[in-house]
Structure 1
Amino acid sequence: MVIVASAASLRVYVSEWENGRRTISDHYAEILRALLGVTDAELRGKAKALPALTLTDGYDELIDRIDAAQNVSLTMVQTLNDQTELIRTMDRQMGAAGLVDQMTAHLARLENALTFAVLPTTRRPVALALAGAATLAAWQALDVGAVERAWRHYELGKRAAQEAEEPMYLAHATAEQAYVLCDAGRPETAVQLVRDARRLGGRTMSPRLIAWLYAAEAEICARAGFQDDCRQALELAMRHLPAGEDARDPDMLSIFLNEGHLARWRGNALALIGDDEAVENLYAAVRATDPTFIRASAGLRCDLAQAHWARGEYDQANEHLQQARLLASRTGSVRHRRRIEQITRRL
């Protein structure tokens, strides 16, 4: 049996709880949590809101949120995508370290819009926007060393891609997630995951995305020590890459890949397996690299240091490491700094 005060006393208690003149005891807190359907923190932190909560039970606020989400237009979704694109550009030129708060707020807006959207016609475009933003946020988190946050963002991106029924975005998020496993010291599992990404993408993927997936597989195979698989994946990447200078995939704006980018990727993978051909590819990539891709340039200098080290050319390796340090300091990339230190310890 639950023992409570008389009705007259309870009216006094409620008034005092509302005005902060009385603290809700554990006994009454247990009763009120069950009655109002709130947590203890909500109950004790929002005592003044108890009468309104009792009258509406939160339905009015929920309907307001649902109505607001229903009014999200394609124009609004495009605005959110434009914000993602702006963050991507800033990340490319400045690094991810200074964008954490901005990206967190952006993801929260997208998640909120999707949470309260009801009909598929509204949910799918918002989910697609969230998939792209979450995957970018995950790569940024990986770059600054926040590996668990990166993993969670990739999971969010994958769920959003499934919601949007967009297998290309699902494949991309899955393949990038494999890099988290690689950095965590599980390259063999990462190889399995990046290969599974191609299966998830199905037969509707663009040629450029297929080439990107094979290039990612080549790098991860190299890090796992699978030399033959690495070379085979590089050949398949070259075979599927569309000709021409265009780098951006019109079907998936997060994919940048042309012959210059692939030369850099090829050089990186070959350097990891100690192939002499790596240096030639990497210097070709230096000539082709967009100077605004600061983080990519830092990675390229790390690749050159790795390739020269493999050939016993330690002076050249140190020269590229010095440039890599300068670029990594500009972007705040923890990932590149870690790699620089790993190569430095070998010299």
Structure 2
Amino acid sequence: MANGLKTTRISRGWSQERLVREIVRYAEQHRISVASIASLRVYVSEWENDKRSITERYASILRPLLGATDAELSSHSGSSESIEADGYSDLITRIDAAHNVSHSMVKTFMDQTELLRTMDRQLGASSLVDQMSGHLATLEDALTFAVLPETRRPVARALAGAATLAAWQALNVGSIERAWRHYELGKRAAQDAEEPMYLAHAMAEQAYVLCDAGRPTTAVELVRDAWRAGESHMSPRLRAWLHSAEAEICAKAGLDDDCRRALDKAADILPAGEEDRDPDMLSIFLNRRHLSRWRGNALALLGDDEAVSDLYVALDDMDPTFVRAASGVRCDLAEAHIARGEYAQAQEHLREARLLANRTGSVRHRRRVEQISQRL
């Protein structure tokens, strides 16, 4: 009598060894304590042969990994022949379900991503890990069984946006490998969707992982590759955003002239007006006020005196819902004041930055606060 776990695993094309590796990877990413790899091999075999019950700890891992319910994990089939038959039946059921994914369902996926983006911006990502993981698993599952291009492309587009958001959240909570993997997922989904804008955005954000890892020169190369990936398909606001990202990364790489040229290009391209949202790329928020903050950030990294005035303007004009971004501006101001030898002001901004980073659970910003503090 085979446990339903086996049927679910086979339907995904996974071996027992692959399932063990995925359990370990998921546990590491979510900081869940699990048994050793050797013990997990035994557990999986015993679970599938009804010799051991699946505890809630492991069920909480298996559900998002396999996209299965508790009932599906524990259901039974009578023989190996029926398992094989049920596997085909389940496959066709999933393919049919994916084929019937409507535009309204894709919109639901996008709306869910938007809700998670809003919550992340205001509350931070640390409390959203499980929700985001479940959302990505649902989208990946829908894409896995979507056969024809007219079905795959809209689902892949939704997955590209969700995966890039999940990657940025993972980066902020300090899960670096998970962030990298999510960016790779976002890039693959963007290519599947034939969406150069989404591919360019994922590549440019992924460059920040390299920057944080101490490889700014490689990050510059990646963000410039993003330009080539986006080609002529990018909206003006996304192009301005990409120039701004390139400017910041060039500043971190010590490329002063390249940084200033990119900032000037961003200012030239950015659409006029107060609107900050790109309707073609919902993850992009950029207007003149945001660009002033970005300019201040880059100039602060270069040790330029102009940074202080730009950053105070940005801080005064900042949308109060951008809580994590406010922590970043405070860090920028601290760096700018240190460059001017104004250490008391720098300490004041670092205190505020630390409070905001703790409020949103941003490990990335807390790390930056500590790095700047060492210079005081």
Q: What's the TM-score once normalised by structure 2's chain length?
A: 0.81
Aligned partners of 2:2 and 2:78 also within 8 Å: no
1:6 aligned partner: none
Aligned mates of 1:115, 1:257 — CA distance in 2: 34
Letter in 2 for 1:234: L
Aligned mates of 2:219, 2:324 — CA distance in 1: 23
Question: Once the 2 structures are TM-superposed, how far is the Cα of residue 39 of structure 1 from its aligned partner?
Answer: 3.9
* Residue 296 of structure 2 is aligned to residue 267 of structure 1: yes
1:325 aligned partner: 354
Q: Deviation string for 1:101-134 (max 9, x for gaps)?
A: 1100000000000001111111100000000000
2:372 aligned partner: 343
Q: What runs of 5+ residues in structure 2 fail to find an aligned partner?
A: 4-9, 18-40, 51-75
Aligned partners of 2:2 and 2:77 also within 8 Å: no
Aligned mates of 2:347, 2:112 — CA distance in 1: 39
The 3 A distance-change label for structure 1 pair 67 and 53 is farther
- Alignment identity in percent? 70
1:162 aligned partner: 191
Question: Once the 2 structures are TM-superposed, how far is the Cα of residue 54 of structure 1 from its aligned partner?
Answer: 1.5
Aligned mates of 1:38, 1:90 — CA distance in 2: 37
CA RMSD of aligned residues (A): 1.8
Which piece of structure 1 moves more, 134-143 or 59-68? 59-68
Secondary structure of the 1:97 match is coil
* Residue 306 of structure 2 is aligned to residue 277 of structure 1: yes
The 3 A distance-change label for structure 1 pair 51 and 327 is same
Aligned partners of 2:124 and 2:324 also within 8 Å: yes
Q: Deviation string for 1:157-206 (max 9, x for gaps)?
A: 00000000000000000000000000000000000000110110011210
* Residue 141 of structure 2 is aligned to residue 112 of structure 1: yes
1:68 aligned partner: 97
2:27 aligned partner: none
Question: Once the 2 structures are TM-superposed, how far is the Cα of residue 53 of structure 1 from its aligned partner?
Answer: 3.6
Aligned mates of 2:127, 2:297 — CA distance in 1: 27
Aligned partners of 2:2 and 2:48 also within 8 Å: no
* Residue 82 of structure 2 is aligned to residue 55 of structure 1: yes
Question: Once the 2 structures are TM-superposed, how far is the Cα of residue 47 of structure 1 from its aligned partner?
Answer: 3.2
Aligned length: 315
**Larger CA Rg, structure 1 vs 2:** 1
In the TM superposition, 1:146-225 aligns within 5 A as 146-225=175-254
Question: Once the 2 structures are TM-superposed, how far is the Cα of residue 66 of structure 1 from its aligned partner?
Answer: 1.0
Q: What runs of 5+ residues in structure 1 fail to find an aligned partner?
A: 1-17, 21-32
Question: Once the 2 structures are TM-superposed, how far is the Cα of residue 50 of structure 1 from its aligned partner?
Answer: 6.3
Question: Once the 2 structures are TM-superposed, how far is the Cα of residue 65 of structure 1 from its aligned partner?
Answer: 1.1
2:48 aligned partner: 46
In the TM superposition, 1:124-163 aligns within 5 A as 124-163=153-192
Aligned mates of 1:38, 1:163 — CA distance in 2: 25
Secondary structure of the 1:107 match is helix
